[in-house]
Amino acid sequence: MPGGNSIFFPVEGSNIRQKAEFATHHVWVTKYKPAELYAGGDYPNQTQPGQGLPKYIADDESLTSEDIVLWYTMGVTHVPRLEDWPVMPVHRVGFKLIPRGFFSRNPAINLLE
């Protein structure tokens, strides 16, 4: 369940959008592979376009009966206000993992029997 989030504002074809292509979607799911650790690739500041998550999903592997990794990209678009100076107040971002359809019925019913 997503919390407050922001879209990725750089325009199509811009250098930053090509290097941070993982930020173009909020959720990615990949098959677990120990070497795939970083959404932006191993060296995001020096990477070439297409590294990281776009490369991880390029082979279109099946996720059925596999260990998976959920990648969630959060962003904040901050519009400055006078009250932010000299210190910006807290801006919370996040998400919740909430099961749906995990149980066939409520496991807490008849708990006291």
pLDDT in tens, 19-76: 899 999 999 999 999 999 999 999 888 888 889 999 999 999 999 999 999 999 988 8
Closest by Cα among 66, 89, 57, 59 to 76: 89
Residue 39 to residue 52: CA distance in whole angstroms:
5
Range of the domain at 19: 1-113
| pTM score of the predicted model | 0.75
User: Is the separation of the CB atoms in 89 and 83 below 8 Å?
Assistant: yes
Q: How many domains does the chain have?
A: 1
The reported pLDDT for the residue numbered 111 is 67
